[in-house]
Each structure stands twice: as structure tokens, then as C-alpha cells.
Amino acid sequence: MPAPLTPAQIARRDRIESLIGLAAPFLDLVLGVGERISRIAEPTDHEYYPIRPGGRIALPGEEGYEEGADLAMPVAPAAPADQPE
């Protein structure tokens, strides 16, 4: 169990939490404006690949890629042509 806070530490914590609470709407506005500007500047991010689980997944331009496919489903590895399945 951590040591109890002193009255000065409690007062400092309360002041900092109050400042964060007052700044939160302004920071939300800054993030919203930044997002809007980035979407106007470049509506489609061609270099963005969403994070996905391990395993082989077909990327745009590769065989097996489907535009609306569920990215959580990995693509099965292709069997070599000289071996029967």
C-alpha cells in the first residue's frame, strides 16, 4: 500500500486535475480541427494500413486482396504447385 499523501500533495493534485479538466474542451477542439484539416488536405491516406493480427494478409495490389474483406481473417497460404493438396 502506498504511503498516504500529504496535504500539500493533495492540494497540488487537485489543482493539476482542475487545470486538466479546464483544458480538456480546448484540447478536444484542437484535435477535432486537426483531424478535419488532415481530411481536407488528404482525404484518402494511401500509405495507411490498419493494424491487424499476425499472419499473412493480402495487401492492396496483391492476389487475394478484396476491398471490403474482413482484415481479421488471414489469407491461407497457397499450396506449392508441385504438391497435391
pLDDT in tens, the chain (85 residues): 889 999 999 999 999 999 999 999 999 999 999 999 988 988 887 777 777 666 777 777 788 777 766 555 555 555 666 655 5
DSSP assignment string, 47-67: T------SS--PPTTSTT--T
- Does the global pTM surpass 0.85? no
CB 35 within 8 A of CB 42: no
pLDDT value of residue 49: 72
Domain boundaries, the chain: 1-42
